[in-house]
């Protein structure tokens, strides 16, 4: 996709996606230091929120901390279920772009009433109900999103948590200019028209891959952007039973496939079901591959951007208004004060 052709530039969604590289380039790592300082004595971090404000930012932080041996245990859950948990030993972050998400507001009302000592907000808007409840709140700099599907804000939320985890380990985020370049390349990469056609005609699009938040977030975005049904297949779940009900008219997009498992995917899904498998990866795989820059330690951000690119191409091929889903709303479940 690009901003030069009218079929792309007329959509706020595309414009906001393409602004992501500058969001990364301008991210201020110093903005997270006061939160890292507050968390310096915490042993565990609980990241809550709903939908896109939680899936990629929280799960990417967990994956990174586990992979790199982070200094703090990180857990995530939706805010309504979190109300059933004993969170006394956790520093809690609630992410809500609107600052008005009902589930997050209720969770913060509860833990405030219980006298919790460390609960913080992450929003894209100032002077919200969440900001009034939280001990401290970071208001992001990505700017307003007009499209229903959250995009650039998701990346900034991810960087915010990433920066805190780095600072707790005595480090700083580095290489953000290189990451911005890689994201821009992934967003503007020309997608093979044959792959777009396969995906356009699919009855259902599965996303498979690591539990980094990337494939789960792309599953949600598939619903919002292409209006197609989609499913999230964590890890190698795609070859552990679900193939029994898969159909040749469905497609699996596997993100950064485990090289050791490619043959099994081919055996079970391509040969067994008769369906097509497409890969998004920095290397050429044994499947038709959308090849992207690697991104180093930040490869998850690049993979997510590449997935957005693919979904935009599908949506445009289907003639969909990318900015206006029929049922989905910008604020999924808004908190209203009963007068």
pLDDT tops 80 at residue 338: no
Q: Cβ atoms within 10 A of the Cβ of 87, count?
A: 21
Please name every residue paired with 137 in a beta bridge, in sequence order, or none if there are none.
Answer: 121
Q: Give CA angle at 118 (116, 121), nearest 5°.
A: 115
Proportion of the chain above pLDDT 70, given as a percent: 96
Average pLDDT over residues 140-158: 94
Q: How confident is the model at residue 114 (pLDDT cuts 50, 70, 90)?
A: very high
CA distance 278 to 253: 5
Judge contact between 220 and 325, C-beta under 8 A.
no
Quick one: pLDDT band at residue 314, thresholds 50, 70, 90? very high
Residue pair 280/256 in contact (Cβ under 8 Å)? The answer is yes
pLDDT in tens, 16-68: 999 999 999 999 999 999 999 999 888 899 999 999 999 999 999 999 999 98
- Please tell me the distance from the alpha carbon of residue 52 to that of residue 97, in angstroms, as a whole number: 9
The mean predicted confidence, pLDDT, of the chain is: 94
Structure confidence at residue 328 (pLDDT) = 62
Span 145-161, average pLDDT: 95
pLDDT over threshold 70, residue 331: no
pLDDT of 82 above 90 = yes
Q: In this predicted structure, what is the pLDDT of residue 33? A: 97
Structure tokens given for 77? 């859950």
Mean pLDDT of 81-93: 97
Query: Band of the pLDDT at 326, cuts 50, 70, 90?
Result: confident
Q: What pLDDT, on a 0 to 100 scale, did the predictor assign at position 339?
A: 32
Q: Dmax of the chain from CA atoms?
A: 61
Give the model's pLDDT for residue 325: 75
């Amino acid at each position: 996709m690009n901003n030069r052709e009218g079929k792309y530039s007329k959509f706020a969604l595309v414009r906001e996606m393409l602004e992501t590289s500058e969001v990364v380039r301008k991210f201020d790592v110093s903005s997270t230091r006061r939160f890292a300082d507050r968390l310096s004595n915490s042993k565990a971090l609980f990241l809550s929120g709903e939908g896109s404000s939680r899936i990629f930012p929280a799960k990417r932080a967990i994956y990174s901390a586990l992979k790199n041996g982070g200094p703090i245990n990180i857990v995530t859950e939706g805010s309504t279920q979190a109300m059933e948990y004993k969170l006394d030993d956790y520093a809690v972050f609630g992410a809500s772009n609107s600052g008005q998400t009902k589930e997050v507001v209720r969770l913060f009302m509860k833990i405030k009433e219980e006298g919790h000592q460390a609960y913080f907000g992450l929003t894209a808007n100032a002077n919200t109900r969440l900001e009034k409840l939280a001990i401290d709140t970071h208001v992001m700099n990505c700017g307003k999103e007009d499209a229903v599907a959250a995009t650039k804000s998701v990346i900034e939320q991810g960087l915010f948590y990433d920066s805190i985890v780095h600072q707790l380990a005595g480090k700083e985020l580095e290489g953000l200019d290189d990451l911005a370049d890689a994201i821009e390349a992934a967003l503007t990469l020309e997608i093979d028209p044959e792959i777009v056609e396969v995906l356009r005609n699919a009855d259902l699009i599965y996303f498979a891959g690591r539990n980094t938040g990337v494939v789960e977030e792309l599953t949600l975005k598939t619903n919002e952007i292409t209006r197609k049904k989609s499913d999230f297949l964590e890890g190698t779940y795609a070859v552990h039973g679900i193939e029994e009900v898969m159909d040749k008219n469905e497609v699996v997009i596997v993100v950064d496939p485990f090289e050791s498992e490619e043959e099994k995917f081919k055996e079970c899904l391509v040969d067994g079901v008769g369906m097509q498998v497409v890969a998004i990866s920095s290397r050429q795989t044994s499947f038709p591959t959308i090849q992207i820059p690697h991104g180093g330690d930040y490869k998850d951000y690049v993979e997510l951007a590449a997935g957005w690119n693919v979904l935009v191409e599908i949506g445009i091929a289907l003639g969909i208004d990318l900015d206006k889903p029929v049922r989905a709303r910008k604020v999924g479940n808004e908190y209203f004060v009963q007068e």
